[in-house]
Structure 1
Amino acid sequence: MRILYDHQIFTLQNYGGISRYFCELMGRLSQDPDIELTLALCKSRNENLRNLHLTNRARQNNNIPLCDAQESPTIQKIMHLGLPVARKIARIGFPIIRKVAPIDVLNNLRSNQRESVRFLKKQEFDLFHPTYYDPYFTKYLMNKPYVLTVHDMIHELYPDFFSPYDRTKEGKKQLIESANSIIAVSENTKKDIIKLFDVDPDLIHVVYHGNPFESEIKSPIDSSVNSSFLKKPYLLYVGNRKGYKNFIFFIKTMAKLLKKYENLHIYCAGGGPFDLNEMKMLRKLDLSSKVHYIKTNNYIMKQLYANAQAFVFPSLYEGFGLPILEAFSCGCPAILSNSSSLPEIGADAACYFDPNDPESLARRVEEVLSDNNYRNQCIIKGFERLKFFSWEKTAQETKTVYGNLACHLM
């Protein structure tokens, strides 16, 4: 069975959960003698591709140079508008964009799109699996089927948190309604798809992610994040801090606790340095010396989880929630919002709070901070819950979706 993956997420994302998912999936499927896969991509800055171990048979189709360049905030803002808008900008080629993008990220977008279209036109595949929601490929499919992975319904449920120029929602709707088969990353995501779109539930298959740290090769120790450099004790916040992630609610709720527990700190891992509004909020709450941003890689993340009193996930909505499994795998108690898919993934191994109720969050954090027996129980249950998830299981269940679709169309 010949599977073609396109460039989309590897053009848009330098590091993140969706590209991690596709890299883990491709890495395992490339070892399957029944699968021949191709990633139609010319250039990428995606860090997950660096750790992608393909077999020689898959690798011969993918000679992908990885560009080492500084992040450009302007380019990142453009990319967050979604691929259709970014493609229009790439065609226009504004001089100002070229000035702020020394490696010409938008040229990469053009060349990657051409490469994906070239492979689509060749028609040397049995099934297509796009890596994001731009419907550019539909006119090149001919009669070939495609499988779409839906990671969440955030754009649909929280549209106010996105730019009015973001066309992700429109592209996703088109692809969901015409997909031959859909993979949802959680039962909650499947439920949301059915609620929002006219889709046959039998076309939607729930396939969970695996543990992001499952097959991690140890990185050299970075002295800047040796645990002795961390201000302990601390709570850990991970990832993007915008909108539905509920970061402002989290910090304002924690302000009283940070005053009560004078030695307690908060580390914010990833998501970029604090912006001006965030720094202003921290100064106003007198928390600038207690809340810290730290740039991360996988090794740093493991250090941060392993030394934290707890990981707090206040998000209003998640399609899956990979950081939950990261925390479990590092023996870090997880304090989670009781919304969307988070209780589904955390089950009884995490403790939960209402993401709209400050007292609910404060109680849960104090419970973990003050009760070592409860904290240890959370850690033990986390390790047990983690056994339910693996990338091998993800790959095999995805292969089943591919196989069933191929048989149905024969």
Structure 2
Amino acid sequence: MKILYDHQIFEAQVYGGVSRYFYELMRCFHAGGRQDIEFDLPLACSNNHYIKDAPFLKRKCKRIIHFDNFIVDFNFKGKWKLYQLAQKIGYVKNYTGINKALSVESIKKQDFDIFHPTYYSSYFLEHIGQKPFVLTVYDMIHELFPAEYPGGDKFLELKKLMIEKAARVIAISESTKRDIVRLYGGKFEEKIDVVYLGNSLDASNAETGGLKTPEKYLLFVGSRSKYKNFIFFVESVVSILKRDPELKIVCAGGGAFSETELAFFNKLGLGGRFSQYSLDDGTLAHLYKKALAFVFPSLYEGFGIPVLESFAAGCPLIVSDSSSLPEVAGDACVYIDSADGASIAGAVEKVIGSAQLRSQLIAKGYEQLKKFSWEITAEKTKKIYEEILR
């Protein structure tokens, strides 16, 4: 059985949950030289962190050069014109065209049994013929929070088209499956399979990375976009922060604080109480390990990989009771109503005020984590492939 993947997500992401998912699938399929499944990833250019040294890649990927990483150590007048000249003479190539052409070439050869595109573009439909394809749906955020994605109508049309035409659809949680059925109709329910994700964070490799972290802090991980509920979380714990001058909030990832966020912190009188770090997995594991708690107040998740990361690193979890999160967290956490400030504040006070509770949550987290692994994800995905070919 041979599976063909494509370039889409490895062109779009340097880091990210979706590219990590496909990398881990291929890593598991490649492990041990197994003979029951083979795969190909036609990719010429990528800056993706996970696959850059992957032993299963048949082609050495060239680095993608765009303006943001063109002569990164120097800013000077005329840099944009120099970049345009580099494009004109071919030093900076149209990597999107190169990657897509390679994917189309592989699809046209028909030397595969199943195609598994890594995102929602429909570019391949005119070339795939009678070969089946599997689509993974990660969440329904664009449908449920359209205000955060203006101009997304075309994207949603493509996504629905792909769901309609796929031989099977993989949803990464029961919650995501329910949302697909609710939003797009029950006619798709029978072809949707739920396959949970795994954890990639190796807590044994935790390292400071030179960071000087506060003695006492709550950890917030990832994007701070509106549905992630960061601002409301901060508003909910203002009184706790003001009562305890030593307590800080550390944000991992999500980009540097915006001017709006910094002004918001200052308006609360808490300007020096927030830190933000962009970091690798080893340093992220260190932040989890040292935190009093990881607070995940998101209004919606398709799965919630940070939940598993916190379990792996031995970090007490405070998490929203919405969408997929109860499926992943089980009873190894303190739940909050993410729309209720008193619920958030009460949970934070409860956890930071009890070392015994934190120890209990850590122990439960280790047990809950055993239910999830990339090997389980890969095995269940392989069974779906096999069922299609029967």
Superimposed CA distance per residue, residues 333-367 of structure 1 (whole angstroms, 9 cap, x where no aligned partner)? 11001110001110101111111110000000000
2 CA distance for matches of 1:270 and 1:101?
32
Closer, same or farther: CA 97–206 of 1 in aligned 2, 3 Å = farther
Show the 5 A alignment for 1:4-403: 4-31=4-31, 32-50=34-52, 52-54=54-56, 59=57, 61-67=58-64, 71=68, 107-165=94-152, 167-198=154-185, 199-213=187-201, 218=205, 221=207, 223-225=209-211, 229-403=212-386
Superimposed CA distance per residue, residues 166-225 of structure 1 (whole angstroms, 9 cap, x where no aligned partner)? 6332211110111100111001111111111133322111111111225x8848x55412
1 CA distance for matches of 2:16 and 2:350?
31
1:116: how far off? 1.0
Superimposed CA distance per residue, residues 114-168 of structure 1 (whole angstroms, 9 cap, x where no aligned partner)? 1111111111111000001111111111111000001000001111111225633
Higher helix share: 1
1 CA distance for matches of 2:86 and 2:368?
43
2 CA distance for matches of 1:66 and 1:191?
39
Closer, same or farther: CA 149–302 of 1 in aligned 2, 3 Å = same
Superimposed CA distance per residue, residues 377-397 of structure 1 (whole angstroms, 9 cap, x where no aligned partner)? 111000000000011111100
Q: Secondary structure at the match of 1:3?
A: strand
Closer, same or farther: CA 357–222 of 1 in aligned 2, 3 Å = closer
Aligned to 1:82: none
Closer, same or farther: CA 104–316 of 1 in aligned 2, 3 Å = farther
Name the amino acid aligned to 2:135: L
Q: Secondary structure at the match of 1:167?
A: helix
Closer, same or farther: CA 223–36 of 1 in aligned 2, 3 Å = closer
1 CA distance for matches of 2:289 and 2:172?
26
1 CA distance for matches of 2:192 and 2:81?
43
- The count of aligned residue pairs is 376
2 CA distance for matches of 1:97 and 1:138?
38
Closer, same or farther: CA 379–47 of 1 in aligned 2, 3 Å = same
Aligned to 1:81: none
Give yes or no for contact 1:246–1:314 (8 Å, CA) kept in 2. Answer: yes
Give yes or no for contact 1:46–1:66 (8 Å, CA) kept in 2. Answer: no
Q: Secondary structure at the match of 2:303?
A: coil
1 CA distance for matches of 2:81 and 2:154?
23
Closer, same or farther: CA 288–206 of 1 in aligned 2, 3 Å = same
1:280: how far off? 1.4
Give yes or no for contact 1:186–1:208 (8 Å, CA) kept in 2. Answer: yes
1:66: how far off? 3.9
Structure 2 residues not aligned, in runs of 5+: 70-79
Superimposed CA distance per residue, residues 44-82 of structure 1 (whole angstroms, 9 cap, x where no aligned partner)? 11111136342xxxx3x332234488856xxxxxxxxxx
Aligned to 1:404: 387
1 CA distance for matches of 2:293 and 2:10?
32
2 CA distance for matches of 1:131 and 1:164?
22
2 CA distance for matches of 1:208 and 1:104?
42
Give yes or no for contact 1:305–1:311 (8 Å, CA) kept in 2. Answer: yes
TM-score (norm 2): 0.91
1 CA distance for matches of 2:386 and 2:252?
39
